[in-house]
Structure 1
Amino acid sequence: MLGPALTGFLTGFSLILAIGAQNAFVLRQGLLRTHVFELCLLCALSDALLITAGVAGFGAITAALPMLPTIMTLGGAAFLLVYGALRLKAAWDGDYHMTLTGGSAPLAATLATGAAFTWLNPHVYLDTLGLVGAVSTQYEALGPKTAFGIGAVTASFVFFFSLGYGARLLAPVMTSARAWRWLDIGIGIVMWALAAKLLLS
């Protein structure tokens, strides 16, 4: 079972490794050191649910609902554009007093934003229901298929908690409003670039 589990882990890890909208948000929250555990758990559990559905063979949902990818693309792009604009506005305003003193949005708002980054991202369905599900089809027996799924789910937990808690290693650099301004500019640009990629693909 070790082989399928390792394949699942590497497959899952490689798909979420690239810095995307969700990862950028987790990184920023990790730098703030607030609601990190809850956010990482939300992201990992969401991935686990989607990966389980993909391995179980529910990737056919997108085939049964041909309009779903378009709806998710438009919704995801709109959310990314708005959040990117908010980060760029924050950089323009330059008021980082609350940020520098460890302030953050309330837990409910943080989790709602994290959920939006996860569930409004059409690529997450392609990665989990589509790609992970497709790779899992090489295992026909229940045991190896389950091991593959567990490996992929484990990769999500390892990645998100490493990103969230590893972000504090950058804390010594993020001690000035200028550093946070550049971070927000970078995140805003990433969000808009991802939105453009969604709309143009």
Structure 2
Amino acid sequence: MWTTWTAGLLTGLALIVAIGAQNAFVLRQGIRREHVGVVVLVCLLSDALLILAGTAGIGVIVEKLPVVLEILRWGGAAYLIWFAVQSVRSAFSPTSLTPEKPRSQGSVLTTTLALTYLNPHVYLDTVVLLGSLANQQGPDLRWVFAGGAVVGSIVWFSALGYGARALAPVLDRPRAWQIVDLVIAAVMLALAVSLILR
């Protein structure tokens, strides 16, 4: 049982730790110390929901309806390009020489939800892949595997969001914020291109 749980934990971490739009945003909010709890909570609850849905068999439905992933692919690419443009504008606008004005909790929540649910890779990783791997464990252990994967998400997003605060002193310089914005823009644009070329 512990072997299955550990396999779920390590597989979940392996899929989620890659630098992506969602992780970049969580890191940014953690560095800014802005609505971190909301961002972390939405990310880990969303991951848990999608992992459990995949384990319950929703992954089969997603695989049978490729049009859903196609819509998400183009919507996600458009959103990522918009986000990249906003980050570049922020990096080169006069106000970006100090950390930008605080965002409202609603704005941060909307961005977190969009970066989570408009990304088809989230569905492929959590619903299809983790769901399939969980179901390969058999009826008795599939939920143990899924539980390990969920714990992996909880650990990762909490560490990323709250651990990013340690970087805040380094990023007190205006130039550092410009670099952060440009790196985030590059990541978002690269992800958008990868979605378009899929």
TM-score (norm. length: structure 2): 0.96
- Identity score, percent: 46
Compare 53-62 and 42-51 and name the one that shifted more. Answer: 53-62
Q: What does 1:181-200 correspond to in 2, within 5 Å?
A: 181-200=178-197
Q: Is the 8 A contact 2:97 2:178 kept in 1?
A: no
Q: What does 1:128-167 correspond to in 2, within 5 Å?
A: 128-142=126-140, 144-167=141-164
Cα displacement (A) at 1:119: 0.1
Q: Tell me, yes or no, if structure 1 residue 45 matches structure 2 residue 42.
A: no
Q: Is the 8 A contact 1:43 1:160 kept in 2?
A: yes
Cα displacement (A) at 1:98: 6.2
Cα displacement (A) at 1:94: 3.7
2:169 to 172, 191, 194: 172
Q: What does 1:105-144 correspond to in 2, within 5 Å?
A: 105-142=103-140, 144=141
Cα displacement (A) at 1:51: 0.1
Distance, in Å, in 2 between the alignment partners of 1:76 and 1:66 is 15
Kindly provide the amino acid, as one letter, of the partner of residue 168 in structure 1: R
C-alpha RMSD over aligned residues? 1.3
Gaps of 5+ in 1: none
Distance, in Å, in 2 between the alignment partners of 1:48 and 1:19 is 19
Q: Is the 8 A contact 1:36 1:165 kept in 2?
A: yes
- Provide, for residues 159-200 of structure 1, a one-character-per-residue CA deviation record: whole Å limited to 9, x for no partner: 001000110111121011110001100100110110000000
Kindly provide the amino acid, as one letter, of the partner of residue 153 in structure 1: V
Gaps of 5+ in 2: none
Kindly provide the amino acid, as one letter, of the partner of residue 121 in structure 2: H
Distance, in Å, in 2 between the alignment partners of 1:97 and 1:199 is 33
Kindly provide the amino acid, as one letter, of the partner of residue 124 in structure 2: L
Q: Is the 8 A contact 2:88 2:185 kept in 1?
A: yes
Distance, in Å, in 1 between the alignment partners of 2:58 and 2:159 is 29
Cα displacement (A) at 1:97: 6.4
TM-score (norm. length: structure 1): 0.95
Q: Is the 8 A contact 1:30 1:165 kept in 2?
A: yes
Distance, in Å, in 1 between the alignment partners of 2:96 and 2:172 is 10
Paired residue secondary structure (2:171) = coil
Q: How many residues align?
A: 198
Cα displacement (A) at 1:137: 2.2
